[in-house]
Structure 1
Amino acid sequence: MTPAKLAATVLSAARSVFETRGLDTSALPEATTVERPRNPEHGDYASTLALQLGKKASVAPRELAAALAEELGRQPGVKSVEIAGPGFLNIRLDAAAAGVLARDIVLAGAAYGHTDTLAGERINLEFVSANPTGPVHIGGVRWAAVGDALSRLLRAAGATVGTEYYFNDAGSQIDRFAKSLYASAKGEPAPEDGYGGEYIAEIATAVVAEAPDVLKLGEPEALETFRRVGVELMFAEIKQSLTEFGVRFDTYFNEKDLHNRGELQEALDRLREQGHIFEADGATWLRTTDFGDDKDRVLRKSDGDWTYFAADCAYYLDKRKRGFDRVVIMLGADHHGYIGRMKAMAACFGDDPAKNLEILIGQLVNLVRDGEPVRMSKRAGTVVTLEDFVDALGVDASRYALARYSSDSPINLDIARWTRANNDNPVYYVQYVAARTFNVGVQAAEIGMARGDAADFRPELLSHEKENELLKTLGEYPAVVARSAALREPHHVARYLEEVAGAYHRFYDKCRVKPQGDDPITEVNIARLWLNDATRTVIANGLGLLGVSAPERM
């Protein structure tokens, strides 16, 4: 019995008690939850429903708990119910009810853990969106890992998700990039405000190879060639490095399209219709202070040029026009001041900023070796890039390490720890269980031991305390997925997988899956093989949400 099914049973029992006693059933919640007690001696699960409902029903919580306990005790699969404190319910399941979960997980396979908690939501998730002026740096790497994991989580929770990379190919940064390439091609030092690093020389050389006469052109024409071709080459490299990292976007959105299609003017017209536009000092402004921003924002400058914020407005409107109910944008720590203006902008469009727009801020990441930050890149010169990160840790360890921590906390990742082949390395600890569970299945097959038909599975034989502990841990997976998706926090999945790994190791040490020596294969062995395979299913599913492999051998 899963925690969700038990919670539904508790609620059903409460409804029966209310109806029998003539209590107002409108006081009952639409759903409830059960939790695992910290002390296993207190039972398998605990419910606080009696405490929650006592006052509403004008019944002492402990009296209501007694009635609930009596009703629950009659439900199939419930072994006993004890009342603790002012009205807590400590519930124990019988072995068969607990053990059947192993079969259910194996039969569900890759679908186990998927929920419909976000069904009907259409979410646009934008992340990374680094300007094509250089390789993806360490901050972007964090968003690549976390954003991709979040997209998988949201889909597992039932949402329709569109992932997006905003390709900014306009503005002063691109101008400096083109000038840096041009200078490099001529053998000159980069401009004072330009870009350095070996990659500039590489891209400049590639531009010249593609346009051999570029240096014979006048400076304006040459700069335009370096801009156009250089950006194409740089962005192609960014896409390739992200693909190798396991990150693919549904949409790569080009900022120039907003300008070429007249969408900035469309956004301005829409905002004017809403009554939030005013003119001052020859410029066109959006009155965002009406919605909590610290100052009003210029959309079009006095010289007629659009501002970056105008493009932000047009881009947001474009996403909403494409049918997305919620726009989620993941930004680095240096964009914290961006939240107020974006929330106000959504309100100016007539949207509910709390419903239609989310901005997630990620903190800094430091890669550490021997206690010292790794600062210099072989190619970029001043920052650690995606390639540097993967070279140091590998794809799996990089993705797991970056998704393992709350994105709003700075982290220091020690290269030695994350490349160590022992249990001190969290990704190794979890992947080792993936490999061990697979190997147990292989060894079982070699001696002719198979799970057999689901109808012949004997769940009541999984009665050992370590089997029960593992079953309860596996049963929490759907709730972990739903909670992680709702909170936009993939790190809960990683931490949960480490709990599963620990519970499996304790089970494996105490409960033999295969018979020893020439001992016959028993139904207990078969039941434990189901539990072993259920564990591999959960580990593989959870790692898959993080974009990490579940290896068959280590």
Structure 2
Amino acid sequence: MYSIYEEITEQLETAVKNAISRAISEGELPEAEIPKIMFERPREEAFGDLSTNLAMQMAKQMKMAPRNLAQVIVKHIKTEGTYIDKVEVAGPGFINFYFNNEWLYRTLRLIDEKREHYGEINIGNGEKVMVEFVSANPTGPLHMGNARGGALGDCIASVLEKAGYNVTREYYINDAGNQIEKFGISLEARYLQQFMGEDSVPFPEDGYHGEDIIDHVKDYIKEHGDNLLDKSPEERRKALVEYALPRNLKRIRDGLTRYRINYDVWFSESSLYEGEIEETMNILRERGYVVEKDGAVWLSAEKTGLEKDEVLIRQNGYPTYMASDIAYHRNKFVKRGFDRVINLWGADHHGHVARMKAAMEALGISKDRLQIVLFQLVHLYKDGEIVRMSKRTGRAITLDDLLDEVGVDAARFFFNMKTSGSHLDFDMDLAVEQSNNNPVFYVQYAHARICSILRKLNEENIEMLPADRINLALLTQPEELALIKKLAEYPEEIRMAAQTLEPSRLTHYVIDVASHFHRFYNACRVKGEREDLMQARLFLIHCTRIVIKNVLDLLKIEAPEKM
């Protein structure tokens, strides 16, 4: 749980604060309260490794021009015993810090020491977080939106774990309410059509038209024949739902397991109907957030600030999806004690965000504890054209179809290459291409290439020495230093990905690591150099392999040793 940047920024903060104190004691600066000092990487390497705009922040209270203040601070900075090589003032008053190479060599030793734990940080302090994702209606197969939401949600959960949060992955099974009624009606219609013909039994316009509904009833008939023909519609629908729903849920579970997603909790919506919805509605009523009109119960727009009242309990006494969703979220926060809840929803749910946040406030739960990640649509492309149907089955492409076509590694990598708010064009041809144009192949090849180098040297009885016997100061080539700097960024990438809930940072980061490695390998020989330099470079590629594997493991993507 360590980042070299933390050590460096602590050093810089101490050096700057001490410099200001010295300047004050010598009468060059007036007494002042120092704000939190922020450091960031300059856009251009020529401006140093880290920079701060502190002088511009403090100029007003110090009654000095920012650049003059920066010069006074720099004059009093002591660099002994730090990673600082030099400090300069730039532009209107930026203070730029340039480091010596020792911090880079320290980074490599740290990677070797931490191994699979390198990159772990602790900004979460064990905060209890739930990530709920996919949660597709169990009335049909998983589609491309579910595939994208699954890869995003699972990687967000993994990033948060690496950042020190106590994470629970949850799937909400929508096994109650309107969609299950519609599922039953759809199954019944297809069942009756099998015996009476399609023209004799009208199919409901808003029913589920997928081929899987027909598959279910055909399988039911194979097992049970026409035993439902003489039953009432209610009995028939109930029997068909009880047959088809577990089959769908098993397919969903199996598909997600194949996709390397394993949930801690599968939460059933129907369990909320055993008193929790009623309990939640009573709390809203007691707090004055519901209104009763037209024989129904509504969430008050006047009290919540929403644009209109939202129906919670229909005239027939049945709760709406909104009511069960509010009860579900109360269960997360109040009953199970999650500090924060993160939901991944398709962008078509954007209108529901404000409603759910308002409902949480109505229950006395801060809306800030509920975070919604909305993700955009996916367009599949093959041979340069949009693909919607599987050639093999003639049906809409499902998650399983995609995994059959491109594999799990490519699917998980590609779905995490764009920020969640961006539309994603998924090139199925590129995903299976074995070339450097395919980003997942490019990264995996870098890992396999390092493993191959280490294996071949090992076959020649050349083994890497322990870290304390290797002279890392021999690593001075630009390509070597650039690669080490990139490896040093990994814990900070975890921090940023956890704070922004954007795992796409990590796919881009590991592509950069692979790119820096290939540049290093093309410029610097490992084998054939004198022993001490060869050992230093061996250690560098050993550390590079660790970082690439750590990122791929987080993304749940294979890190092959041979390709």
Q: TM-score range by the shorter chain?
A: over 0.9
Quote the residue 1:18 is aligned against.
20
Deviation of residue 287 (structure 1)?
1.1
Cα-to-partner distance string for 1:194-216 (whole Å, 9 max, x where unaligned): 33444233322443456567435
Quote the residue 1:278 is aligned against.
291
Structure 1 counterpart of 2:204, one-letter code: E
Deviation of residue 391 (structure 1)?
2.0
CA gap 1:501/1:237 in 2 versus in 1, 3 angstroms: same
Q: Secondary structure at the match of 1:98?
A: helix
> Is the Cα contact below 8 Å between 2:22 and 2:76 reproduced in 1?
no
Deviation of residue 283 (structure 1)?
1.5
Structure 1 runs not aligned, ≥5 long: none
Deviation of residue 241 (structure 1)?
0.3
Q: Which of the numbers 528, 543, 548 marks the counterpart of 1:539?
A: 548
Distance across 1 between alignment mates of 2:301 and 2:168: 28
Quote the residue 2:534 is aligned against.
525
CA gap 1:123/1:217 in 2 versus in 1, 3 angstroms: farther
- 1:331 paired with 2:345, answer yes
Quote the residue 2:431 is aligned against.
418
CA gap 1:45/1:249 in 2 versus in 1, 3 angstroms: same
Deviation of residue 282 (structure 1)?
1.7
Quote the residue 2:472 is aligned against.
459
Quote the residue 1:43 is aligned against.
48
Worse-matched range after superposition: 432-441 or 237-246: 432-441
Deviation of residue 525 (structure 1)?
1.3
- 1:195 paired with 2:197, answer no
Deviation of residue 357 (structure 1)?
1.1
C-alpha RMSD over aligned residues:
2.3
CA gap 1:551/1:54 in 2 versus in 1, 3 angstroms: farther
CA gap 1:472/1:272 in 2 versus in 1, 3 angstroms: same
Q: Secondary structure at the match of 1:337?
A: helix
- 1:28 paired with 2:41, answer no
> Is the Cα contact below 8 Å between 1:103 and 1:457 reproduced in 2?
no
Cα-to-partner distance string for 1:164-210 (whole Å, 9 max, x where unaligned): 11101123322332333344445144823333444233322443456
Cα-to-partner distance string for 1:359-407 (whole Å, 9 max, x where unaligned): 2211110101122111114698663210122122211111110111011
Structure 1 counterpart of 2:426, one-letter code: L
Structure 1 counterpart of 2:520, one-letter code: F
> Is the Cα contact below 8 Å between 2:116 and 2:550 reproduced in 1?
yes
Worse-matched range after superposition: 67-76 or 169-178: 67-76
Cα-to-partner distance string for 1:334-367 (whole Å, 9 max, x where unaligned): 11111121111011111221x2111221111010
Match runs of 1:369-384 below 5 Å: 369-377=382-390, 383-384=396-397
Distance across 1 between alignment mates of 2:182 and 2:456: 61
Distance across 2 between alignment mates of 1:489 and 1:412: 18
Quote the residue 2:305 is aligned against.
292
- 1:430 paired with 2:443, answer yes
Distance across 1 between alignment mates of 2:142 and 2:124: 31
CA gap 1:395/1:309 in 2 versus in 1, 3 angstroms: same
Deviation of residue 250 (structure 1)?
1.0
- 1:550 paired with 2:550, answer no
Q: Secondary structure at the match of 2:502?
A: coil
> Is the Cα contact below 8 Å between 2:475 and 2:536 reproduced in 1?
yes
Distance across 2 between alignment mates of 1:46 and 1:408: 30
CA gap 1:70/1:453 in 2 versus in 1, 3 angstroms: farther
CA gap 1:418/1:115 in 2 versus in 1, 3 angstroms: same
Deviation of residue 64 (structure 1)?
4.0
Distance across 2 between alignment mates of 1:379 and 1:267: 48
Match runs of 1:311-322 below 5 Å: 311-320=324-333, 321-322=335-336
Distance across 2 between alignment mates of 1:272 and 1:380: 51
Cα-to-partner distance string for 1:243-280 (whole Å, 9 max, x where unaligned): 000111111111110002x0011101111222212221
> Is the Cα contact below 8 Å between 2:140 and 2:210 reproduced in 1?
no
Structure 2 runs not aligned, ≥5 long: 25-29
- 1:152 paired with 2:193, answer no
CA gap 1:212/1:33 in 2 versus in 1, 3 angstroms: farther
Worse-matched range after superposition: 313-322 or 298-307: 298-307
> Is the Cα contact below 8 Å between 2:186 and 2:204 reproduced in 1?
no
Deviation of residue 60 (structure 1)?
4.0
> Is the Cα contact below 8 Å between 1:18 and 1:24 reproduced in 2?
no
CA gap 1:201/1:359 in 2 versus in 1, 3 angstroms: same
Q: Secondary structure at the match of 1:129?
A: coil
Quote the residue 2:454 is aligned against.
441
Worse-matched range after superposition: 46-55 or 282-291: 46-55
Distance across 2 between alignment mates of 1:183 and 1:535: 59
Q: Which of the numbers 107, 114, 126 marks the counterpart of 2:120?
A: 114
Worse-matched range after superposition: 238-247 or 19-28: 19-28
> Is the Cα contact below 8 Å between 2:132 and 2:343 reproduced in 1?
yes
Match runs of 1:85-234 below 5 Å: 85-186=91-192, 187=194, 188-189=197-198, 191-193=203-205, 194-208=207-221, 211=224, 214-215=227-228, 217-218=230-231, 219-234=233-248
Deviation of residue 461 (structure 1)?
1.4
Structure 1 counterpart of 2:220, one-letter code: V
Cα-to-partner distance string for 1:466-506 (whole Å, 9 max, x where unaligned): 11111111111111111111111111111111111111111
Worse-matched range after superposition: 336-345 or 209-218: 209-218
CA gap 1:106/1:244 in 2 versus in 1, 3 angstroms: same
Distance across 1 between alignment mates of 2:311 and 2:209: 32
Deviation of residue 414 (structure 1)?
1.4
CA gap 1:134/1:78 in 2 versus in 1, 3 angstroms: same
Distance across 2 between alignment mates of 1:348 and 1:304: 22
Structure 2 counterpart of 1:48, one-letter code: N
CA gap 1:289/1:536 in 2 versus in 1, 3 angstroms: farther
- 1:364 paired with 2:377, answer yes
CA gap 1:551/1:485 in 2 versus in 1, 3 angstroms: same
CA gap 1:56/1:155 in 2 versus in 1, 3 angstroms: farther
Q: Which of the numbers 339, 348, 366 marks the counterpart of 1:352?
A: 366
> Is the Cα contact below 8 Å between 1:214 and 1:225 reproduced in 2?
no
Distance across 1 between alignment mates of 2:61 and 2:473: 39
Worse-matched range after superposition: 455-464 or 196-205: 196-205
- 1:480 paired with 2:493, answer yes
Quote the residue 2:27 is aligned against.
none
Distance across 2 between alignment mates of 1:88 and 1:72: 18
Cα-to-partner distance string for 1:483-541 (whole Å, 9 max, x where unaligned): 1111111111111111111111111111122226xxx5x22211111211111111111
- 1:3 paired with 2:5, answer yes
Worse-matched range after superposition: 59-68 or 529-538: 59-68
Quote the residue 1:450 is aligned against.
463
Structure 2 counterpart of 1:263, one-letter code: E
> Is the Cα contact below 8 Å between 2:160 and 2:498 reproduced in 1?
yes
CA gap 1:16/1:273 in 2 versus in 1, 3 angstroms: same
Q: Secondary structure at the match of 2:40?
A: coil
Deviation of residue 148 (structure 1)?
0.4
- 1:342 paired with 2:356, answer yes
Quote the residue 2:264 is aligned against.
250
Match runs of 1:253-268 below 5 Å: 253-260=267-274, 262-268=275-281
> Is the Cα contact below 8 Å between 1:198 and 1:378 reproduced in 2?
no
Worse-matched range after superposition: 434-443 or 176-185: 176-185
CA gap 1:5/1:209 in 2 versus in 1, 3 angstroms: farther
Distance across 1 between alignment mates of 2:92 and 2:385: 53
CA gap 1:302/1:222 in 2 versus in 1, 3 angstroms: closer
Distance across 2 between alignment mates of 1:385 and 1:374: 12
TM-score under structure 2 length normalisation: 0.91
